[in-house]
Structure 1
């Protein structure tokens, strides 16, 4: 199981509005008849959620545009071909936009905690949003989706040579490439556009493919409607193998950036499909590049906990606060230092039972700069089928 999150941020990154937090039960998409009768529209969007990004890689997200005030539901579901194991939890905090046309609706935007399991069951969030532009940014809390520690005894082969010495991709590698193709095919049309390919490039190499390079790519590999086909994508990787005379080092960099281990198992990425349903307007949703260090999603997460969680002054200090948000599935604590001095907070989770946190430590310390706020820890049950007790002691170190 992995705890994965996504923040919906406003276009202008304003964070001075209120946000709420609620937990939701499994949700089903509106039936087809209801969509046709009410004029609702369904805009599927495929995205990769909470895969671990190597240091320096630029994060990506989704841009959601609503042209009017509307009831909305976001449904989340693993792909039909499950390419990850275990359960996935998805949390969608919605931070309303200051640039929305309908302020009254956007002020009541909520964050939702949804749960998607590996059985393929669909869960989601529903509510009402005003017109405006929002960003949906996936990230992980780190409670369950951690660096893979499994020892791989035998590295999978990516390429082999035929009787005449020609290189070809192994069946297992082609299967992995097929899954990667489906992930980066964000609009689900069976082809990869330049924009979609650049998400792949930024993810795996940190660089973008320009128009000239894309034109050369289209001249040498199978395309349709100026977009790369799956066979073209396979041939592109075969060319890379040939350029390196069969050395798979660069191919492994690509695979590991996409969440695969040396056994060609996707263990550090959680793909999922987003379906957006609206009642009164047609939404537009597309993937966007977010420059590193750009959108302050941690600040938005802190703000949502401060707005909804319980606040407590630390050791009778008037300027140092502990904010705690609790739900049935997750606890998040945020530390806020309003003083002019640096403070150190000692955190002890030893009295908690059946709990796991994102720091993987029962005891740790957090250094908090003056006039700053930070996420202290996320806590989840280690086994959701058993009772879990959160009993954490926070103390201010003098």
Structure 2
């Protein structure tokens, strides 16, 4: 009996190792299909893999060098097929440059006159399959550019310039960026910042009456049964600030998967139930994150949220009464879209958006996002979670109990 148990444990450990790809594994795999640009810090432990072919996307990263855990979710099946799909190509990656709005009368995913259904929904090639130009590359920074045009549902044409600068941060730089007193020696980190700039290259100002765009950063991360997304929010009366969380994207999220407590929203990132939430600019702070208690991984997103700005594009799939009352932070948990169907991944997502871009001719605006992964034991991570989110490791792990 004891021997059988030992054998089962060994098999389980092998399966766990096989399912937990290293950074080197993922980079080696992707290199068969796309050119991979790698950034590293001076320690050679923090690593970030980028792809110009996929819009300067951050594909994955590691805090432990080549053999460390690969944080970004990679759709190996789609890469290996060497095929492309009509509606969207979900190659994965832990931070991709995207544009909104997705739905509504100013959508760039639906053509004029079509229905707001999946059959008529198409991701623009610009943010799905087109490559960005490489402007410059060094050991710790890469800059990508693109000039393009898009027409929205209402027929307005946007002529735009895009620049995406990605830089890797040292542990000391991360500590400063997060405003932390210290980062313990026994924890490992990888952090990168993206500066995403849009310029109106056309001859017409971008105005609400004809629709506006937003820059939208989406990160696909590897899920686990013990991953909890945590998003702090601004507390106050609903009459003044509106609802705390929008959970109507794919139907109401069950209460065993979404919990709102004093100042913090907890949302499961286990890849087992398709659901999405969002926070309005009146409720969102400038930070969101997740904690995988099994693997000791804290993921943090921080972005530049402009003070007092409330116009964000609305991506709901309908003709909208309020097209500029959208969300600034979103989180998505993948799962089967219907019983018996396969999930997209599974994975979970953390997302932030810029305000609606009402740019005059020649004007530009920048959306800055910092993404970091911090690995360590609960004792080391607890002070960081407490400082940034106002809760403890115990609060997070017991959120759904």
Same fold (TM over 0.5): no
Larger Rg over CA atoms:
1
Normalised by the shorter chain, which TM-score bucket? under 0.3
TM-score by length of 2: 0.25
